[in-house]
Chains A and B, each alone.
Chain A
Amino acid sequence: MTGMTRPSPRTVRRLIGVLILVLWEAIPRLGILPELFIPPLTKTLHVLWLDRAIYAAALLVTVYEVAIAMLIACGAGILIGSIVGGVAGVRRLMLPVFSSLYAVPIVILYPVFTAWFGIGSESKIVFAGVYGFFPVMLSTAAGIRTIDEQYLLAARSMGASLPQLITRVVIPASIPTVLSGLRLGGALTIIGVVVSEMLTSANGIGYLVTKNRTTLDSPRVFAAIIVILALSVVYDIAVRAIERRTLVWQAAGRRDAGERGAVLSAQAAA
């Protein structure tokens, strides 16, 4: 097939996307699968439009919970991660503990959180905050620990004080790794909020999934799923934009970030 240009990966991805949407509409319409399993896309969008007030209100609750949970996860993660990464004694003591905790399915603690904080927003926020905390904390610790010793030595030779070392070297040097942790941690808080809403709740998008599932109202379940998908896509776009903005200098430094990422995942696996 000489002379034909290969379609770019971007085009292929779009085509696959369109194909999925077409199949989503066609499969139930053609009766290949019952509508209870997959309601047609148009029908799903239609109920989403009809119930837009309900979905908007639920989304607002979910977004509010996600926002607070992210603040907690990122704030506490960065703070504790810096201490664990920066202070050798604390690191030796705590890092193995945190690394193994990361592997614990924290969702098992959710019933405990509902007992402590009720079934309102508070328990979701705390649960999702804890859920998102670990990757932020671990990547911050890894980011600080893997800073090139030479950077610190050079700064000291130029007369940097300890606060200057931190603000001028440690923070900028660890930003790439910390950002990758924030991205993962943020995504986990969205999961945490939605899952906890699905488990025990009276509000939020996750609650709409559960509620409509029990009444076998598939179009409304899928409508809620679409809203959640949209939420995570928006989140991803926002984080990418922040990353692009912050990491101009990283354009060719991807190798470094890759190495640090590997350190992080090795640590998470440990």
Chain B
Amino acid sequence: MQHVANLTGERSGAAKAAVEVRGLSHVYAGRDGAVPALENIELKVPAGRFIVIVGPSGCGKTSLLMMLAGLRAPSAGTILCDGRPISQPDPTRVGVVFQEASLYPWLTAVENVEFPLVLKHAPRAERRERAGAMLNLVGLDGFGSRYPHELSGGMKQRVSIARGLVQDPPVLLMDEPFAALDEQTRMTMGHELLSIWSQTSKTVVFITHSLTEAVYLADEVVVMSARPGRILDRITVDLPRPRTYQMMATDVFGALRERIWLQIRTTP
């Protein structure tokens, strides 16, 4: 059983789990009775790791992410973040970046980024400073006063990332953040994300449909089965960092991609 996760202490013996999922199952009430969505998920994500979850549509990836974010409660099991259970959203521990630009159109870029701080009643000066620093980090210096409709798709997702990071949470959850972008922008954004990640040493849990994106970004790819979602495989991607576009053409990259594809494909 590959998913009895003991790949944990790989980086350093002291690395503790930033995110730990124990015996998580979820059943929701469908039209024809109870539908099992997730089954016995065990997952340990060491601090500072970049984990990518892939799986067929409807495998419960997004449900799992919602639970990691504290937005939905699982039917059974526990989720620990930084050693403490997550029972409700806590943006100081877990930042979330959603699939589509969930930016507020009535706020400017900088106001969107400082939104979580506004909710916490942080003083204005501190908010502006933090938000400005985050926009700087994602390469949007000087775009703070733009409204979302004045930004491109890629820029909007940069703002979303800045918003997710503004409270400096150790964990960043990303639900297909680049799915709505065109291929070129998507690759650029992936690369940018890795550069941000290397500067911030966050633990990232990233969901995607794109196998190329998965292999390119991940330290480890978690492959999930179709409903009910179970962990089929955990694949360590030992390509060196920083990753380069050239790596995509290598045999190692192709083999990893192939291995994931076979798992997903053979799952009915």
Contacts and interface: CB of A to CB of B under 8 A. Distances in A.
Interface of A: 148, 150-151, 153-161, 164, 168-169, 172-173, 175, 248-253, 256
B91 A154 contact: no
A158 B89 contact: yes
Contact of A159 (B90, B100, B163): B90
Contacts of A252: 147, 149-150
B69 interface: yes
B261 interface: no
B137 to A, nearest CB: 18
Given A151-B104, A155-B119, A253-B105, 19 more contacts: A148-B102, A150-B98, A150-B100, A154-B96, A157-B89, A157-B98, A159-B89, A159-B116, A161-B119, A164-B119, A172-B104, A173-B104, A173-B106, A248-B147, A249-B105, A249-B107, A249-B147, A251-B147, A256-B105
B115 interface: yes
A148 B100 CA distance: 11
A252 B106 CA distance: 11
A158 to B, nearest CB: 4
B151 to A, nearest CB: 11
Nearest to B100: A150
Contacts of A148: 102
Interface centre among A153, A160, A175, A250 (most CB of B within 10 A): A153
30 contacts: A150-B100, A150-B102, A151-B104, A153-B71, A153-B102, A154-B96, A156-B71, A157-B69, A157-B94, A157-B96, A158-B91, A159-B89, A159-B90, A159-B116, A159-B120, A160-B119, A168-B115, A168-B119, A172-B104, A172-B106, A173-B104, A173-B106, A175-B106, A248-B147, A249-B106, A249-B107, A250-B105, A251-B147, A252-B147, A252-B150
B118 interface: yes
Q: Give the secondary structure class of B's interface.
A: loop
Q: Which of B105, B106, B107, B120 has the most CB of A within 10 A?
A: B106
A161 to B, nearest CB: 8
Interface in B62-116: 69-71, 89-91, 94, 96, 98, 100, 102, 104-107, 115-116
B168 to A, nearest CB: 14
* Secondary structure dominating the interface of A: helix
B106 A151 contact: no
Contacts of A169: 104
B103 to A, nearest CB: 8
B256 to A, nearest CB: 31
B107 to A, nearest CB: 8
A154 B147 contact: no
Contacts of A155: 115, 119
Nearest to A252: B149
Nearest to B99: A150
B118 A157 contact: no
B104 A159 contact: no
Contacts of B96: 154, 157-158
B98 A154 contact: yes
A156 B163 CA distance: 13
Among B98, B102, B120, B147, max chain A CB count under 10 A is at B102
The 8 nearest A-B residue pairs measured at CB: A252-B149, A154-B102, A158-B116, A157-B96, A150-B102, A172-B106, A249-B106, A249-B147
Contacts of B147: 248-249, 251-252
Contacts of A158: 89, 91, 96, 115-116, 119, 163
Contacts of A248: 147
A252 B102 CA distance: 16
B118 A168 contact: yes
Interface string B168-179: 000000000000
A179 to B, nearest CB: 12
Contacts of B106: 172-173, 175, 249
Contact of B91 (A157, A173, A253): A157
B199 to A, nearest CB: 22
A28 B107 CA distance: 56
